[in-house]
Chains A and B, each alone.
Chain A
Amino acid sequence: MAETVTFTINGMTRTVVVDPALKLLDVIREDLGLTGTKRGCDNSTCGTCTVVMNGKAVKSCMVKLDKLDGAEVLTIEALAKGTELHPIQQALIDAGAVQCGYCTPGFVMELYALYEKDLDASETEIKNALNKHLCRCTGYEAIWEGALLAQKRMKEQT
């Protein structure tokens, strides 16, 4: 039953023996021990498990492993450089967008995929991206402000 997949995760090539019935989230959390990516539901609704795969934000709880071979995956663990936070991470902190923090890595990765693709993303595009995620604590206000702040700062840096 077990199969082997080779893919790049956070810049490192890994070959993992997997049960094909599992999903990318299981491999990330259980096989690779990268627990920053969270499980919040089991059917692609909440967004806590969001990672970036081949440049796109995906909900890893629904990604089948046959899609994984040769893929490039980025998880929350890849964003900070040493102790220097990514501007998206810093902006979410500065805006007060962190409460329980369980949804936070998913939001960070969603914004990362969006801004890497298009730093000039419109407010509608940002809203559409954030709307794929659930947060039960913040009421989204601070997440929205953090998203705009991150975009502004990233633009200033480029």
Chain B
Amino acid sequence: MGFQTIGKNVVRPDAVDKVTGEARFLDDLRLPGMLHAAILRPAYAHAKIVSMDTKGAEACEGVVKVVTGEGCDIRYGDNIKDLTPMAVDKVHYIGEPLAAVVADTPQHALAALEKITVEYEPLPVYVDALDAMADDAMLIHEENGDFWHLPTLSPKPGTNIAHYYHLTKGKGEEGFEDCDVVVEGDFLYPFGSSAALEPHGAIVWFKTDGTIEAWSSSICPFIIREDLAHAYGLPISEVRVHIPEIGGCFGYKSDITVEQTVAYIASFVPGRPVKWVASRKEDFTSTLTGHGIQTRMKLGAKKDGTFVALKTAVYHSTGAYADTGVNITIGAAHNSTGPYVFPNCDLEGYCVYTNTTPIGAYRGYGHQEVQFATERLVDILARKLKMSPLELRAKNYLGDGTVNALGERMWKTNGDVRACAEEVIGVIYDGDKPAEDDDYLYGRGFAAVMKSPKGAPFSTKGCYMKMNHDGSVSVNMGGAEVGQGLRTVVKQVTAETLKIPPERVHVYREIDTQFSPYEWQTIGSMFTIQGGRAAVRAAERLIKTLKKTAAQVLRCDREMLDYDGEYVFLRSDPGVRVAVPDLARGYIYENGMTVGEVAQSTSDVRLPRYSNPDEKGQGNMGVTYTFGAQGCQLRIEKKSGKILIDNFASTFDVGRVINPRQIRGQVVGGVLMAVGATLYEELEYDEEGNMLNPHFFKYHLPTLKEAPTQTVSFIENPGEIGPFGARGIGEHPVIGVAPAILNAIYDATGIDFYRIPITPEKMKAALQGTTNEVQHG
């Protein structure tokens, strides 16, 4: 197809700002009269607050106000209103806000914090979902079940289960009666942190006129606006939320979290903006973390390898509040089929309160955590069947005409996992594997992946577009740019649709709920699909307006006109035409008379036919599935246990590549993030719920020297929904990394790992047979 702008490496609109330091992130904002907050975190992960003395802090230099949660009756959240801005009479995890000092400088606020004394009555601590589910476990929230929640959620009162999700397809568990072979496994994707380089933070200003103005490094300005309005009894229109540049997100700056705490603090000093930015330690302990998912999986098949039944139980240690974790539990459960057809499914998700930092999205909603189990277990099944794991997968792939666990029919337009698999296999299994030598063991591993969308009934994205009278175009949307490059996508699809050079399209920077069109939230790898389509739709409407005006000028029917980016012209006689810029403000005749209307448009786009889960847990996610395959070649150093990835290959069927350089950047970066989870990263808690490694020097993010060579390619089976057929890619690259690496480790060593990360110490212990965490084949 002859595209002008799609498929080109258009430079991102924010690139210059970001290399010069001119890009303004939350901590760079300074407002006149701004005060600074510091927040006290508890000494226990689960305890009653017996008493608190704030007098010492109140007397400190620069202190304006000391705030506690005493008497606070705000409960907030967009799925389950179980969150409080500040602990009231109990603390539930080690990073919970317990009190705050508002002062003239951050240093004064921090110094005064140390003068607050608290007396606690410690309570039993549950770090793991299974412990919190024990019959005799103490309730982390007595009120479980009483909190307002979405009608689709099922909390279990009198337990620590915040939501139980259950999907059945076909005969459910009875499907195992038809199986010849069954394999089972218990897999753990432990706690981790998105750990964006920019710590989370917010500024909130309770203005004297009764309105609220807020700034946050969040991807959900409209959620924040609505939730703050609800908490403080204001019309939504009286809350204004700004989003500056965001220094990485990966999921944990979604929903509403720190903003309610900063708002609560700021509500005590009306008239003054209050800023709080997380220290790195607080970013780990008090903002959303990731994963915490144990998956028990049972997979049954016929002798010939045809999959028959899948049983999954997801035990999600969702942290002290479940509002942000509940969708991860659900997503994990129904994505646990991976990209395969299972006629019979019994998929359970237990979203369980624990005394750990709440879990949020982490490059997906349970996709990587649970398909880690699926893709390991498929390899294990292949061995039992004495089949090639690649052939076994090929027998069972979802594809055009098949039905997934949710009951949705798959179409060719959802992408072709088979084509992705063939591409990766061609890279990873090209030639023979090197034979073991004195220093290294060699292995190759593979994983195929499925990424469901994350929808909601009103998951819409809006677009405002206006043409200026020099023919340049301004586009305003509510999509949060976290680095993924969505503004470049908007620029490219707008330019392509309007048939103008991308340089003529100016894309919004800051989001401001006062001016930006409504956007549900920028999550779930859905912006390119939905936001891109909203831009196409607005551009098409703009062209319609241009034609409408031109029809008056050229005195003809609108349907007789064509548009080529420069002119609106008579199809039958292209010489009869009006230049596009002359139509932007309506058409102005020489005598000043004007006809037509200003060339501006609005649009919005939602997921087609999204529906809530029914009584069987099935429903329609909005039909924007994406499939892919990943694989690796690795070496294990015998002496040290070090795992060296020589090549990591990924292929995704993204429908259409909008910007080759950006899409490669998404995949390469995503893969490395998951390499981190697989080989290095784990947020560790002790039995008392203390987080042991909330620093970059203890929680190791991969560095440049640890980044493997990557082979990345794309299949382009255009989708029906996204702009020019494009589908999302942001969350996808992390899904198959852990299982591909662990499958390769088995290939190299004959050792099955069931949990990550595989540090050199763990690998060495397994090679020496001194650990019981693994199984030797």
Using a CB–CB cutoff of 8 Å, the interface residues on chain A facing chain B are 19, 21-22, 33-43, 45-46, 48, 75-77, 79-80, 85, 89-90, 92-93, 96, 98-105, 108, 127, 130-131, 133-144
Residues of A within 8 A of B11 (CB): 93
- What 1/0 flags go to B75-94 for Cβ under 8 Å of A? 00000000000000000000
The answer on a CB contact under 8 Å between A75 and B483 is: no
Tell me, rounded to whole Å, the shortest Cβ–Cβ distance linking B287 to chain A. Answer: 14
Name which residue of chain A comes closest to B12, CB basis: A98
Which residues 331-388 of B have a CB within 8 angstroms of A?
Answer: none
Residues of B within 8 A of A45 (CB): 695-697
B529 contacts chain A at the CB level, 8 A cutoff: no
The answer on a CB contact under 8 Å between B25 and A102 is: yes
Using a CB–CB cutoff of 8 Å, the interface residues on chain B facing chain A are 9, 11-12, 14-25, 27-28, 30, 107, 194-199, 245-250, 277, 279-281, 482-485, 661-662, 664-665, 668-673, 695-697, 701, 703-705, 707, 710
In-complex Cβ contact of B247 among A102, A141, A143 (8 A): A102
The answer on a CB contact under 8 Å between B707 and A139 is: yes
In-complex Cβ contact of B18 among A35, A48, A104, A144 (8 A): A104
Given A43-B695, A104-B18, is A127 in contact with B704 using a C-beta cutoff of 8 Å?
A: yes
Residues of A within 8 A of B24 (CB): 35
Given A41-B280, A92-B19, A93-B16, is A134 in contact with B701 using a C-beta cutoff of 8 Å?
A: yes
The answer on a CB contact under 8 Å between A137 and B248 is: yes
CB pairs A–B below 8 angstroms (5 shown): A36-B20, A100-B249, A102-B247, A133-B704, A134-B197
The answer on a CB contact under 8 Å between A100 and B696 is: no
Tell me, rounded to whole Å, the shortest Cβ–Cβ distance linking B488 to chain A. Answer: 10
**Cα(A76)–Cα(B15), bound, Å:** 14
Residues of A within 8 A of B199 (CB): 39-40
Shortest Cβ-Cβ A-B pairs, 9 listed: A36-B21, A101-B18, A100-B483, A102-B247, A99-B483, A139-B672, A76-B21, A139-B668, A45-B696
Name which residue of chain A comes closest to B481, CB basis: A100
Given A136-B195, A144-B704, is A100 in contact with B665 using a C-beta cutoff of 8 Å?
A: no
12 more A-B residue pairs beyond the given contacts A96-B662, A104-B19, A136-B248, with a C-beta to C-beta distance below 8 A: A36-B20, A38-B198, A39-B277, A40-B197, A42-B281, A89-B16, A89-B19, A100-B483, A101-B19, A133-B704, A136-B250, A137-B248
Given A35-B28, A45-B695, A102-B248, is A131 in contact with B703 using a C-beta cutoff of 8 Å?
A: yes
In-complex Cβ contact of A100 among B20, B248, B277, B281 (8 A): B248
Name which residue of chain B comes closest to A128, CB basis: B705
Name which residue of chain A comes closest to B671, CB basis: A139
The answer on a CB contact under 8 Å between B668 and A102 is: no
The answer on a CB contact under 8 Å between A100 and B247 is: yes
**Cα(A142)–Cα(B669), bound, Å:** 10
In-complex Cβ contact of A48 among B22, B197, B707 (8 A): B197
**Cα(A137)–Cα(B568), bound, Å:** 43
The answer on a CB contact under 8 Å between A140 and B707 is: yes
Residues of A within 8 A of B484 (CB): 99
Residues of B within 8 A of A38 (CB): 25, 27, 197-198, 247
Name which residue of chain B comes closest to A94, CB basis: B11
Residues of B within 8 A of A135 (CB): 197, 669
In-complex Cβ contact of B661 among A80, A89, A96 (8 A): A96
In-complex Cβ contact of A41 among B696, B703, B705 (8 A): B696
Tell me, rounded to whole Å, the shortest Cβ–Cβ distance linking A83 to chain B. Answer: 9
Residues of A within 8 A of B673 (CB): 136, 139
Tell me, rounded to whole Å, the shortest Cβ–Cβ distance linking A81 to chain B. Answer: 11
In-complex Cβ contact of A42 among B107, B279, B703 (8 A): B279
The answer on a CB contact under 8 Å between A46 and B22 is: no
**Cα(A36)–Cα(B661), bound, Å:** 25
The answer on a CB contact under 8 Å between B704 and A140 is: yes
In-complex Cβ contact of A142 among B17, B22, B280, B665 (8 A): B665
Residues of B within 8 A of A92 (CB): 19
The answer on a CB contact under 8 Å between B668 and A141 is: yes
Name which residue of chain B comes closest to A44, CB basis: B697
**Cα(A80)–Cα(B695), bound, Å:** 33
Residues of B within 8 A of A98 (CB): 12, 14-15, 18-19
Given A99-B665, A130-B704, A140-B704, is A93 in contact with B19 using a C-beta cutoff of 8 Å?
A: yes
Given A85-B16, A136-B248, is A103 in contact with B197 using a C-beta cutoff of 8 Å?
A: yes
Tell me, rounded to whole Å, the shortest Cβ–Cβ distance linking A130 to chain B. Answer: 5
In-complex Cβ contact of B696 among A34, A46, A108, A131 (8 A): A46
**Cα(A89)–Cα(B11), bound, Å:** 13
Residues of B within 8 A of A79 (CB): 20
**Cα(A49)–Cα(B20), bound, Å:** 14
Residues of A within 8 A of B671 (CB): 139
The answer on a CB contact under 8 Å between B696 and A134 is: yes
In-complex Cβ contact of B21 among A77, A130, A137 (8 A): A77
Residues of B within 8 A of A35 (CB): 21, 24, 27-28
The answer on a CB contact under 8 Å between B21 and A102 is: no
